[in-house]
């Protein structure tokens, strides 16, 4: 009977019920089948919520972002960016790269993320800026903009966090070196991460700045191909 939670998860996912509801019911059913009191079950849920950051993300962040999107967060961010005449896709992504990497260098790794920032705000703003400058976008260009928005977040976080002395990667390296008789301070390793972070910022920053030209060329080529196809059909 203690495996009843697995059956509930399988059935719930197969019927496409709300995943959060399915997992919660499965946890309650498993606890009751194991003869745990309601207080003990709730305590277990609470401990997992406090100690497991992924559960906190799932329970709090994703539903909140979903509600914001349902009530027009993406549309409002696109409408806002269209009013900024100087905004372009490349400039928006460049600015977010700068903010993301600086924040990560200060240990603020949660200030951003795909679910919290890229999907609901950065990607729609980048798309809105491209639409303002170039007009209607095709699906290929939209997916490219989304991919670059996600890449900016990854690059900024990955290279920025290695400058922060209390990040897991720095502490892991220190432990490895200590085990092998090489004694280094976290600050020493963090300082040597600065040149790499600067190079990553410059290289990827140039890439996103040049993205506007790539989008323009790709849309022009697509328009030309459509025109040629239209001429062929008319000739036929």
pTM (whole model) above 0.85: no
What letter does residue 25 receive in the DSSP assignment? H
Which pLDDT score is estimated for 235?
62
Which pLDDT score is estimated for 38?
84
Which pLDDT score is estimated for 66?
67
How is 39-97 classified by DSSP, letter by letter? HHHHHHHHHHHHH-HHHHIIIIIHHHHHHHHHTTHHHHHHHHHHT-TT--HHHHHHHHH
Which pLDDT score is estimated for 52?
53
Q: Which tokens hold the place of 80?
A: 């806002």
The residues spanned by each domain of the chain are 4-51, 71-235
The Cα-based distances of 227 to 130, 215, 216, 223, 224 in angstroms read: 22, 18, 16, 6, 5
Spans in the chain with pLDDT lower than 70:
1-2, 19-20, 48-69, 71, 229, 233-236
Residues 48-69: tens digit of each pLDDT: 655 555 445 555 566 666 666 6
Which pLDDT score is estimated for 226?
76
Which pLDDT score is estimated for 58?
52
Mean pLDDT of the chain: 82
d(CA 141, CA 130): 9
Which pLDDT score is estimated for 61?
61
Q: Mapped to the 3 state alphabet, what secondary structure does 91-145 carry?
A: HHHHHHHHHHHHHHHCCCCCCCCHHHHHHHHHHHHHHHHHHHHHCCCCHHHHHHH
Q: Calculate the CA 12 to chain-centre distance.
A: 27
């Amino acid at each position: 009977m203690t495996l009843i939670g697995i059956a509930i998860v399988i059935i719930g996912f197969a019927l496409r019920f709300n995943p959060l509801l399915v997992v919660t019911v499965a946890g309650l059913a498993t606890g009751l089948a194991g003869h745990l009191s309601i207080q003990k079950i709730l305590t277990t849920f609470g401990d997992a919520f406090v100690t497991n950051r992924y559960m906190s993300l799932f329970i709090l962040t994703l539903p909140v972002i979903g509600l914001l999107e349902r009530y027009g967060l993406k549309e409002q961010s696109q409408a806002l960016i269209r009013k900024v005449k100087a905004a372009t896709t490349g400039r928006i992504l460049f600015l977010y790269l700068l903010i993301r990497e600086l924040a990560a260098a200060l240990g603020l790794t949660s200030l951003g993320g795909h679910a919290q920032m890229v999907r609901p705000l950065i990607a729609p703003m980048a798309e809105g800026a491209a639409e303002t400058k170039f007009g209607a976008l095709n699906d290929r260009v939209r997916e490219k903009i989304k991919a670059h928005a996600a890449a900016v977040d990854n690059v900024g976080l990955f290279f920025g966090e290695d400058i922060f002395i209390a990040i897991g990667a720095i502490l892991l390296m220190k432990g490895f070196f200590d085990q092998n008789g090489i004694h280094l301070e976290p600050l020493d390793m963090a300082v040597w991460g600065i040149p790499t972070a600067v190079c990553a910022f410059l290289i990827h920053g140039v890439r996103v700045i040049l993205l506007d030209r790539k989008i323009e060329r790709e849309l022009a080529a697509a328009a030309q191909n459509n025109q040629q196809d239209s001429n062929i059909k008319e000739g036929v």
